[in-house]
Amino acid sequence: MNILSVEHLTKVYGSGDTAVTALDDVSFSVEVGEFVAIIGSSGSGKSTLLHLMGGVERPTSGTVRLQGQDVFARTDEELAVFRRREVGLVYQFYNLIPVLDVVENITLPVLMDGREVNESRLKMLLEALGLTGRERALPNQLSGGQQQRVAIGRALMNAPAVVLADEPTGNLDSKNSTEIMRLLRASNRRLKQTLIVITHDEDIALMADRVIVIEDGRLVRDERRREPERTPRTVAPASVAGTGSFSPRGGAAYRPAHAAEGVR
């Protein structure tokens, strides 16, 4: 089932002589539960594409549909709510709030939405991400790898329609990079979390079901390496990178009311 479709997406920054076409007529669609890697050289338009898919910026032309709904038909206010509920963003530099602790950072999108925190999902995420015992730590008391795990927890807390990660391991050493990618892939496999990761790392791209290559703002290659797994959610979760594991049941009880109206 299709969850995301990008149709003739174009983004031009500036105008006249200084206009830059960052994205040029890009179209593709993503299946539920798919893990897609986006690669391409620096300045090719990858981050622009990610921001458009996440409703962070509006396109110059073209459309993005998530769960069948036109993302940019929304007002700016509706778009802010949409980003909080349906999109999980992970950046290279974590973007945590320095004065908030681990739990506060992870639950921020839920609290900003005025909803109650699902304690069992929170506990499941803390365990799966190896953050149990660090609940009250502030970001500057954590290693880079730990901070990125908090950012992943924040992205997953709302069970978003899609997680979008922009070079999530770009600031980490190889051991932490491997750990972060294992965790992201585990969320994709165990929680059936649709996942799109921008990377310049070939090993990471090889972990994905599919690799999309962007050059000069255009989609130049789209290779599906394997079908997204369609195993039932009841498959016993295996241990992840020596930490806990993502438990589908930890999130199953928690679906925001609006999600039931969608086409998921």
Ligand X SMILES: Nc1ncnc2c1ncn2[C@@H]1O[C@H](COP(=O)(O)OP(=O)(O)O)[C@@H](O)[C@H]1O
| 15 contributes a contact to ligand X by CB under 6 A | no
For residue 15, the 8-state DSSP code is -
Residue 190, token pair as written in the block? 């165990």
| 199 contributes a contact to ligand X by CB under 6 A | no
Q: Which stretch binds ligand X (CB under 6 A): 44-52, 117-125, 227-235, 256-264?
A: 44-52
Which residues are CB-contacts of 229 (< 8 A; sequence separation ≥ 6)?
33, 189
Residue (45 or 153) nearer to Mg ion, CB = 45
Residue 208 beta carbon to Mg ion: minimum distance, rounded to whole angstroms: 17
| 20 contributes a contact to ligand X by CB under 6 A | yes
Distance CA 205, CA 36 (A): 8
Residue (158 or 177) nearer to Mg ion, CB = 177
Q: Which stretch binds ligand X (CB under 6 A): 36-44, 135-143, 146-154, 169-177?
A: 36-44
| 42 contributes a contact to ligand X by CB under 6 A | yes
| 169 contributes a contact to Mg ion by CB under 5 A | no
Distance CA 240, CA 69 (A): 34
| 48 contributes a contact to ligand X by CB under 6 A | yes
| Residue with tokens 């602790």, as numbered in its chain | 101
CB 88 within 8 A of CB 154: yes
Please count the residues of this chain forming the interface with ligand X, following the rule CB under 6 A: 12
β-pairing, 20-31 vs 210-215, is unpaired
Residue (102 or 196) nearer to ligand X, CB = 196
What are residue 37's DSSP bridge partners?
A: 197, 211
Please count the residues of this chain forming the interface with Mg ion, following the rule CB under 5 A: 1
Residue (48 or 158) nearer to Mg ion, CB = 48
Residue (13 or 73) nearer to ligand X, CB = 13
Of 50, 63, 69, give the one whose Cα is nearest residue 2: 69
| Subset of residues 11 to 70 that bind Mg ion, contact rule: CB under 5 A | 47
CB 119 within 8 A of CB 74: no
| Residue with tokens 């009841």, as numbered in its chain | 234
Q: By the criterion CB under 6 A, which residues form the site for ligand X?
A: 13-14, 20, 22, 40, 42-48
